[in-house]
C-alpha cells in the first residue's frame, strides 16, 4: 500500500497541540477531517473509514510550525494536484505544503535526522508580536545567554528539561546547534537536535533567561543539567513564542520511488 508524506505548516494559537486529543481541537484532527471529507468515496471503496496519521514532531498547545510532517497509507492515488482542494477546505491557520509518495517503510518520525526550533523573545511592547513571541521586558545579557546555550551542545541526558509523564525510552538527545542572536529587534534562540523531549525547548529558554541573571550562572546551569530533576527547570514561557522551523531527512529521501 502506498505511503504518503504530508508536509504542513500552521499557526498553533487556536489549537490544543499537534496530535489527537479527546475533547480538544488539534492540528491532526483538522487535517484528518479534511482528508476523510475529500476522499470519502475512495475510502469507502477501499473499505476504510479513515486515515491513520503519524506525526513527525509533536508540538504543544499554541506552538507554531513552518514545517512539520504526517505520514499515512492509502490504497489509491493521492497527488500534488490534491493540495489545492485540501487547502481550500482547511481553516486559515493550517496549510498543506506538499504531498509526497514514498516507499511503504518510510517513517516521518524515525527517518528524520534532525529538527530545528526557534524561540522568539521581544522586550518592547509590540501588538504585532503578541501571539508570535514572549514579551519579556527585562534586561538580558546575550553573551551570558550564549555561554549557557553552549552548555547543551553534544550528546547529553536532558531529563531535567523533560516534563513529567513523558513516555520515552531514553532522555539522551544530541544537540548540534544552540545559540541566541538578535533578530529583527527581538532575541531569538535557535536550537537543532536529533530529537527533543516534551517541553524541552521551552524549558531551555525559560531556564536560561532565569539563570543568566545569577552571578554564578554557568555553574548553576551545569548543575541543573547534571541533576536530572525537572523541578529545577522553568517551563513557564508561553508556547506562542516557539516555532518548529524544519524537520530534516537524509539527502535524497524524498526522491525515493514508492
Judged by phi (left if over 0) then psi (alpha if -120 to 50, else beta), residue 218 lies in: alpha
Contacts of 238 (CB under 8 A, 6+ apart): 62, 134
**Separation between Cα atoms, residue 198 and residue 63, nearest integer Å:** 12
Q: What does DSSP assign to residue 232? A: G
Alpha-carbon distance of 157 to 151, in angstroms, equals 12
- Report in angstroms the alpha-carbon separations of 22 from 12, 25, 29, 33, 196: 17, 8, 10, 15, 24
| 8 A C-beta contact, residue 66 and residue 244 | yes
Is residue 77 annotated as a catalytic residue, yes or no?
Answer: no
Task: Characterise 43 by phi-psi region: left (phi > 0), alpha (psi -120 to 50), beta (else).
Answer: alpha
In the chain, the largest separation of any two C-alpha atoms, in whole Å, equals 67
Half-sphere exposure of 58 (CA within 13 A, CB side): 15
Three-state secondary-structure class, residue 203: helix
- Annotated catalytic residue, options 60, 141, 157, 229: 60
Set of cell numbers at residue 138: 527585562
Catalytic positions are 60
Amino acid at each position: 500500500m502506498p505511503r504518503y508524506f504530508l508536509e504542513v505548516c500552521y499557526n498553533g494559537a487556536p489549537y490544543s497541540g499537534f496530535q489527537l486529543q479527546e475533547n480538544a481541537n488539534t492540528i491532526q484532527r483538522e487535517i484528518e477531517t479534511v482528508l476523510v471529507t475529500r476522499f470519502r468515496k475512495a475510502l469507502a471503496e477501499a473499505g476504510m473509514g479513515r486515515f491513520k496519521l503519524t506525526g513527525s514532531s509533536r508540538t504543544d498547545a499554541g506552538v507554531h510550525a513552518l514545517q512539520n510532517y504526517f505520514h499515512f497509507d492509502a490504497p489509491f492515488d493521492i497527488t500534488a494536484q490534491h493540495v489545492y482542494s485540501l487547502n481550500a477546505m482547511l481553516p486559515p491557520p493550517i496549510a498543506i505544503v506538499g504531498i509526497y509518495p514514498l516507499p511503504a517503510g518510510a517513517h516521518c518520525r524515525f527517518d528524520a535526522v534532525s529538527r530545528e526550533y526557534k524561540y522568539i523573545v521581544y522586550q518592547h511592547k509590540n501588538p504585532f508580536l503578541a501571539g508570535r513571541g514572549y514579551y519579556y521586558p527585562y534586561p538580558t545579557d546575550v553573551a551570558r545567554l550564549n555561554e549557557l546555550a553552549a552548555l547543551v551542545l553534544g550528546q547529553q541526558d536532558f531529563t531535567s528539561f523533560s516534563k513529567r509523564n513523558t513516555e520515552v525510552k531514553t532522555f539522551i538527545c544530541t544537540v548540534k546547534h544552540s545559540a541566541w542572536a538578535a533578530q529583527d529587534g527581538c532575541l531569538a534562540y535557535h536550537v537543532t537536535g536529533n530529537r527533543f523531549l516534551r517541553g524541552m525547548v521551552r524549558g531551555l529558554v525559560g531556564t536560561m533567561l532565569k539563570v543568566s541573571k545569577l552571578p554564578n550562572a554557568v555553574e548553576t546551569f551545569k548543575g541543573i543539567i547534571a541533576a536530572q530533576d525537572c523541578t529545577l527547570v522553568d517551563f513557564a514561557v508561553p508556547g506562542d513564542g516557539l516555532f518548529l522551523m524544519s524537520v530534516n531527512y537524509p539527502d535524497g529521501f524524498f526522491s525515493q520511488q514508492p
